[in-house]
A and B are shown apart, each in its own frame.
Chain A
Amino acid sequence: MDAILRSGAVLGEARPPVELVNLKGVHKHYRGAAGRSPSHALHDIHLQLAAGEMVAICGPAGSGKTSLLNVIGMLSPATEGSVVIDRLLVAKLPEQARADLRCELIGFVFQSFSLIPVLTVLENVMLPLMLRGRLGTAAYLTLQARAADLLARLGLGSCSGQYPARLDAGQCQRAAIARALIAQPRLVIADEPASRLDHGSVRLVMDLFARQQREHGTAFVISTSDQRQFGRATRSLQLNEGRLQHSGADGGRQALRVQS
């Protein structure tokens, strides 16, 4: 990371240290199939996100929510505009540095869980930290205990040794959430994290998010159409046809009205 800092990928010192994400004039275009015009997923997005914030992004299907999360998560480059994550200009980072930054900084909850089928639930949860490098025996055991504890808190204590194929959708969703939180990341990007959860599980997960936010200052960007999550958000954003139409700090109630 020091090398990246020296290479000039860092923006000026004017940014406050707590600012995690800064998007300026971001556009995202997808190349169209042969003979078709390109589709514009995001138009002129400006967004800042500070540590400890929980931002809910809502919008209808195809409004660009996943594209926005992919850009913030450095999974997909912006076509235009600047994306700064943790004071690093993403466009100037090489692929490996982006992977390292994702590994150290961000926890992901994907829309389709994306658990690795050949790893047990416990190993899936431990995966983000195991990808950082070889662990000593003591560190491995500590990590294992932490993962088991997290799974127990999400009601998956008895499933830790099972493979994902044996779990139902709700259990897979909770396992994916545990995986996103295990490394105590500074930013969690969650795409529809509650879509497959029942009422009780949603409350359990949101409590866990809130605790993480409070204790570790983790910022959350959550794409959702579930009202139950808006009440916990510090800010809500409405995305429509790739444009941010409303931004409020009212717990998401206005955003819901715009959407309806």
Chain B
Amino acid sequence: MSPHRLALRTILLGRPRSVLAILVIAASLCVLDLFSGHLASQRGQLEYQAVIGERLGHLAISRTGTAHDGSPQSKAFDAAEAAQVKRIAEASGGVALVLPQMSVSGIAYTSKRSALFFGEGIGAASVTPELPGKLGPKRRTGIALGSGQAQALGLGNGASLTLMGATLDARSVPLDAEVVEVFSSADFGAGARSLLMPFEMAQALLDTARTERFVVYLSDPRQLDARRQALLAALRQAGLRVEIRSWQDQSPAYAKEKHESELSLDSVAGMVFAVIAATVAATVSMNALERRREVATLRALGMHSSRVFLMFSAEAMWMASLGVLCSLVGSSVISWVVNRAALSYGTHHALKRAPMLVELDFERMTMAVVAALAVALLASLVPAFKAARADVAEGLA
């Protein structure tokens, strides 16, 4: 008689405690799967926000050292270099779009208020319908404001303001602008760009014909690293001193959010595995206590104590396995319902409510399953050992 068979029979033939333990394991793992799925969805939204909303692109090509050393403007590409970089990047495999960009900062003011701004001059091509489609050569003075900046200046769509930037030779150039779009900056960090303008407007504010960087959008973002290496090799082969940074390198807001979400996930995972360990240990201990006579009978009839140990460990593993199975079904059903229900939640400075979505993260779910089984096995060791070593005659008494 196999210990596994006996263990499975014990669970299936109605020990309410074992069934309850299976449900607790399933519910705990469901919570973890759904939380991890929601974080994955949030990260996806943040990625979209950074790559598309903040116009960071997947990759950014700039002259070596501009990010950490000296004035970016002084190290920007001249017109000839810019044309060469654009040509090579566009010819590189897997590249969907290459756009020039220029950072610009200064003071934005109206007749009543003024505020510092950190802006970005972006290429005219549109990669999303909503923004910056309204920016471009046809509306040379149109700008898009982050919601925080718009609030600070008390401006909305159609309002006018003046931007003043400082050139390399310390002159100030004021330019009139018109707000054509207000975008959500709720999830951006303090250093995030609060103002988007046409690339040519940024060049005019800085009084330069140079290009600070090119942002590259890939057709398949999963090949980010491979494309970065290939592009870097092609540009360096052409004699250009360039560096390429990914959108993760450039987005402190995303890095901060990711770090915080992983910390939360680790805390929840810790609690979930503690609950699983406690449930399994308590259930196996109580089962062993209640089944003293049964265990003593098996041992009296010739079952080795090692097989008794195996039987209780197998029982814990079956409980965990059935719990895992229930959790997978439960997580799939609940995530489907949540996604179908189109729930949403509001955040500070958000212009519209964020969708509450769950994208099940199968890699993390697999890790959770393995961890749950390991925790269940470990938690069963001590009670199983005690049951295996119990006195046979006492058990039969």
Which of A's residues lie within 8 Å of B, judged by CB?
A: 66, 70, 73, 75-76, 95-96, 99-100, 102-104, 108, 110-112, 114-119, 123, 127-128, 130-132, 134, 163, 179
Indicate if the CB atoms of A102 and B393 lie closer than 8 Å. no
Q: How far is the CA of A249 from the CA of B396 in the complex (A)?
A: 31
Asked whether any CB of chain A lies closer than 8 Å to the CB of B300, the reply is yes
Nearest CB of A to B178, in Å:
79
Asked whether any CB of chain A lies closer than 8 Å to the CB of B294, the reply is yes
Q: How far is the CA of A100 from the CA of B299 in the complex (A)?
A: 10
Proximity string of chain B (276-316) to chain A, C-beta cutoff 8 Å, 1 when within and 0 when not: 00000000000000000110111111111110000000000
Q: How far is the CA of A31 from the CA of B282 in the complex (A)?
A: 29
Indicate if the CB atoms of B302 and A114 lie closer than 8 Å. no
Indicate if the CB atoms of B1 and A114 lie closer than 8 Å. no
Indicate if the CB atoms of A99 and B13 lie closer than 8 Å. no
Which of B's residues lie within 8 Å of A, judged by CB?
A: 1-2, 6, 9-10, 13, 293-294, 296-306, 391-393, 396-397
Residue of A nearest to B1 (CB): A130
Question: A residues within 8 A CB of B306?
Answer: 96
Nearest CB of A to B293, in Å:
6
Pick the residue among A95, A100, A108 that contacts B300 (CB under 8 A): A108
Indicate if the CB atoms of A99 and B304 lie closer than 8 Å. yes
Pick the residue among B9, B304, B391 that contacts A119 (CB under 8 A): B9
Indicate if the CB atoms of B296 and A114 lie closer than 8 Å. yes
Question: B residues within 8 A CB of A132?
Answer: 302
Starting from the known contacts A99-B302, A123-B1, 7 additional A-B residue pairs (CB-CB under 8 Å) come to: A75-B300, A76-B393, A99-B299, A99-B304, A102-B300, A112-B396, A128-B302
Q: How far is the CA of A128 from the CA of B299 in the complex (A)?
A: 10
15 contacts between A and B (CB under 8 A): A75-B396, A76-B392, A96-B306, A99-B303, A99-B304, A102-B302, A110-B297, A111-B396, A112-B293, A114-B297, A115-B297, A117-B294, A127-B301, A134-B2, A163-B13
Indicate if the CB atoms of A128 and B396 lie closer than 8 Å. no
Question: B residues within 8 A CB of A130?
Answer: 1
Nearest CB of A to B299, in Å:
7
Question: A residues within 8 A CB of B393?
Answer: 70, 75-76
Indicate if the CB atoms of B301 and A131 lie closer than 8 Å. yes
Known contacts A75-B300, A76-B392, A131-B298; is A118 also within 8 Å of B6 by CB? yes
Q: How far is the CA of A99 from the CA of B297 in the complex (A)?
A: 11
Q: How far is the CA of A163 from the CA of B14 in the complex (A)?
A: 12
Question: B residues within 8 A CB of A103?
Answer: 301-302
Nearest CB of A to B8, in Å:
9
Indicate if the CB atoms of B300 and A118 lie closer than 8 Å. no
Per CB-CB distance, the 6 closest pairs between chain A and chain B, nearest first, are A103-B302, A76-B393, A114-B297, A118-B9, A130-B1, A70-B393
Question: A residues within 8 A CB of B1?
Answer: 123, 127, 130-131
Question: A residues within 8 A CB of B297?
Answer: 110, 114-116
Question: A residues within 8 A CB of B294?
Answer: 114, 116-117
Question: A residues within 8 A CB of B301?
Answer: 102-103, 108, 127-128, 131, 179
Known contacts A76-B393, A103-B301, A132-B302; is A114 also within 8 Å of B6 by CB? no
Q: How far is the CA of A114 from the CA of B1 in the complex (A)?
A: 17
Q: How far is the CA of A117 from the CA of B301 in the complex (A)?
A: 15
Task: Count chain B CB atoms within 10 A of each CB in A96, A100, A118, A127 and give the residue with the most.
Answer: A118
Known contacts A118-B10, A127-B1; is A75 also within 8 Å of B392 by CB? yes
Question: B residues within 8 A CB of A128?
Answer: 301-302
Nearest CB of B to A79, in Å:
13
Question: A residues within 8 A CB of B10?
Answer: 118
Question: A residues within 8 A CB of B9?
Answer: 118-119
Q: How far is the CA of A100 from the CA of B300 in the complex (A)?
A: 10
